[in-house]
Amino acid sequence: MRRLDAGGTLTILTDRSAVAADLQAWARMVAVEVTGVEEGPGGWAVRLRRGPGSRLGGRGLDGDRVAGIRLF
């Protein structure tokens, strides 16, 4: 697993709308910007950008789980 530095972007693909919604809620909670959500034939793509003020990487937030998916 690699770390997402400030300004870095990540796209998460899922075939479940609930996971896409959970990812967006989680991103708001830890101050990660959602730069796009697209629905396509295979499911959803959620694009995230880690800002300099995000709370990712603080104690208790590394390895967060959203809908059973381990993030960062």
Higher pLDDT, 34 or 71: 34
pLDDT score at 30 = 79
Non-local CB neighbours of 11 within 8 Å, separated by 6+ positions: 45, 46, 47, 48
Q: Which helix (H) or strand (E) holds 27?
A: helix 17-29
pLDDT per residue as tens digits for the range 24-50? 888 888 778 899 999 998 899 999 888
Non-local CB neighbours of 33 within 8 Å, separated by 6+ positions: 27, 48, 49, 50, 51
pLDDT score at 3 = 66
Split at pLDDT 50, 70, 90, the class of 61 is very low
- The tokens for 14 are 């899922």
Q: What does pTM read for this prediction?
A: 0.68
Q: Which helix (H) or strand (E) holds 64?
A: strand 64-66
